[in-house]
Structure 1
Amino acid sequence: MTDAPDLARAQEVLASQPFSALLGARLTAFGGGEAQLELDIRDNLRQQNGFLHGGVLAYAADNTLTFAAAAVTGTRLLTAGFTIDYLRPAEGELLRAHAQVVRSGRSRVVCRCDLMVVDGQGAERLCAVAQGTISII
């Protein structure tokens, strides 16, 4: 079947990634072919116009896509590729990325991810979407 970890183990895997720790990323949901990652939007993560940097959005998409795949297949995964479409500038206090498995095969998993910014009142606003292919190694 699968060696998919539970939320606590998946959080340990995220915590072991130095770049994720640097960004302050948190895995807030994991299981059933879905994953959710959050990070606080800080000034040192913004670009020159004051919006969250696109590289941070791409990081969140990449990692969340892979964690969604891990929720089905287990932890031996690598991103084969992904695309991201930036829909609007990311302005808010929190970035929330939610990914889900579209199809899981023997060697690859296809996932999609919605990236939202959350304002101080808790309102979400979609700022980017991504789709990726994750290789099972």
Structure 2
Amino acid sequence: MTVDLTEFARGIFEAQPFSGFLGAELTEVGADSAEIRVGNRKELQQQHGFIHGGVISYLADNSLTFAGGLALGGDALTAEYKINYVKPALGDVIIARAKAVVTTRRQAVCTCSIFAVGDRGEKLVAVAQGTIVAVERGD
């Protein structure tokens, strides 16, 4: 890929209206990895004050797709993913860190860990795994 990875990833991220709606930030990218953050606010919480599972799921899906797309060297989509919620999400910020673990010509299998960050540091709140597929123009 001749375009800088960060520039390429930021261009795609900034073209996502839903990410902007949530206030998400793409904070790190690598050749096969991505980190996305969302600040906690009342509108993103469920009735018990925890960050809503839908927000956590968004972070897993989008960071998995970014990690897989970067590993595949281009635009990508999620073919499938699975998430396990392991602890309620409380904190100031929620962070998803994803990495491609196996990449072929057309797909990448990726893993993701999602953390809530607060006064006591990072707490793992969910883990996810997904299959990401390369998108060709015209697909």
Q: TM-score range by the shorter chain?
A: over 0.9
Structure 1: gaps (5+ residues): none
SS at match of 2:59: helix
**Amino acid of the structure 2 residue aligned with 1:134:** I
CA distance in 1, matches of 2:74, 2:18: 18
Shift, 1:107, TM fit: 1.6
Question: Is residue 125 from structure 1 mapped to residue 123 from structure 2 by the alignment?
Answer: yes
For 1:46-125, list aligned pairs within 5 A: 46-120=45-119, 123-125=121-123
CA distance in 2, matches of 1:6, 1:22: 24
Structure 2: gaps (5+ residues): none
Conserved 8 A contact 2:68-2:133:
no
SS at match of 1:55: helix
Question: Is residue 44 from structure 1 mapped to residue 43 from structure 2 by the alignment?
Answer: yes
Q: CA RMSD in A?
A: 1.4
**Amino acid of the structure 2 residue aligned with 1:46:** Q
Q: Percent identity, please.
A: 41
Q: TM-score normalised to the size of structure 2?
A: 0.91
Q: TM-score normalised to the size of structure 1?
A: 0.93
CA distance in 1, matches of 2:32, 2:3: 10
**Amino acid of the structure 2 residue aligned with 1:126:** L
After TM superposition, the structure 1 stretch with the greater mean CA deviation from structure 2, 52-61 or 112-121, is 112-121
Aligned residues: 135
CA distance in 2, matches of 1:69, 1:4: 17
Question: Is residue 136 from structure 1 mapped to residue 134 from structure 2 by the alignment?
Answer: yes
Aligned twin of 1:7: 6
Conserved 8 A contact 1:4-1:71:
no
Runs of 4+ in 1 over 4 A off after TM superposition: 2-5
Change in 2 beyond 3 A, CA 1:54/1:131: same
Shift, 1:74, TM fit: 2.5
CA distance in 2, matches of 1:81, 1:133: 5
Change in 2 beyond 3 A, CA 1:4/1:128: farther
CA distance in 1, matches of 2:63, 2:17: 16
SS at match of 2:51: coil
